[in-house]
Amino acid sequence: MILEIAQLQIKPGQEAEFEAAFLQAQRIIASMPGYLGHELQKCLEHADHYMLLVRWASVEHHEVGFRKSPQYQQWRALLHHFYDPFPTVLHYTHVAGPGLSTRAATEAQRP
């Protein structure tokens, strides 16, 4: 498994429109072979900054299977016009640590 990380900076004032478009776009990525899950996180300090985390079975599932698919053109049409600048996307592999369990993630969100 690999983790794709994209730091997204949205044009100021377009955050609500971006989030609405992402709700549609996430259905596209979730339907792709090799897709294992994703999260979109919004920065607390900068309202126009987001972090997209996508888990894939392999880099090839992302770079070839998704990015070279007809579905990617739909993804682009929904989202790419919101970015300024265009994001850098990197892939990571697990080195250490158990990660967050569902229980730990739930407890971390409690006030």
How far is the C-alpha of 76 from the C-alpha of 80, rounded, in Å?
5
98 — pLDDT class (breaks 50, 70, 90): confident
The single-letter DSSP state of residue 25 is: H
**Which tokens in the block code for residue 76?**
């682009």
- Residue 78 predicted with pLDDT over 70: yes
Residues 5-46: pLDDT tens digits? Answer: 999 999 999 999 999 999 999 999 999 999 999 999 999 999
Predicted pLDDT at 102:
56
- Residue 104 predicted with pLDDT over 60: no
pTM recorded for the entire structure: 0.88
How far is the C-alpha of 75 from the C-alpha of 21, rounded, in Å?
9
Predicted pLDDT at 99:
77
How far is the C-alpha of 8 from the C-alpha of 37, rounded, in Å?
18
